[in-house]
Amino acid sequence: MKTLTLASIYELQGLKNEALDIYKELLRENPDNKEAKIAIKRLSGIRKKYLGVDEEMKKFFLTMNSEVEFLEFERWLVKLWN
C-alpha cells in the first residue's frame, strides 16, 4: 500500500525517485492532497536544480578552514539560490 508515510521514508532514505512516484500516485488518487503537492514540488526542484554538482565548490567546501572561506562559500550559496 502506497502512503504518505512510505513516501516520506523513501525520501529520508535518499530514494527520491521512488518517493516522487508514490507522491504522484497519491495526487492522482486525490488531487486535493496538499502534502503530496508540496512534496512533488520539493522533489521536482531537487531533481532539476541538482543534476550535477559543482565539483570545484564541493572541494572548497570540504577543505574550508577559515571564517573568510566560510563567508565566501556562504556568498556563493546565496548567489546560487537567488
* Digit-coded pLDDT (tens) for 2-47: 999 999 999 888 888 999 999 999 999 999 999 999 999 888 875 4
Q: 40-56, pLDDT tens digit by residue?
A: 988 887 545 555 567 78
- State yes or no: pLDDT of 60 exceeds 90: no
The per-residue b/e assignment along 47-71, b for 16 or more CB within 10 angstroms, e otherwise, is eeeeeeeeeeeeeeeeeeeeeeeee
Instruction: Select from 54, 43, 41 the least CA-distant residue to 19.
Output: 43
Residue 47's pLDDT is what? 47
The predicted pLDDT at position 53 comes to 63
H or E segment and range at residue 17? helix 16-29
- 0.85 surpassed by pTM: no
Distance CA 10, CA 7 (A): 5
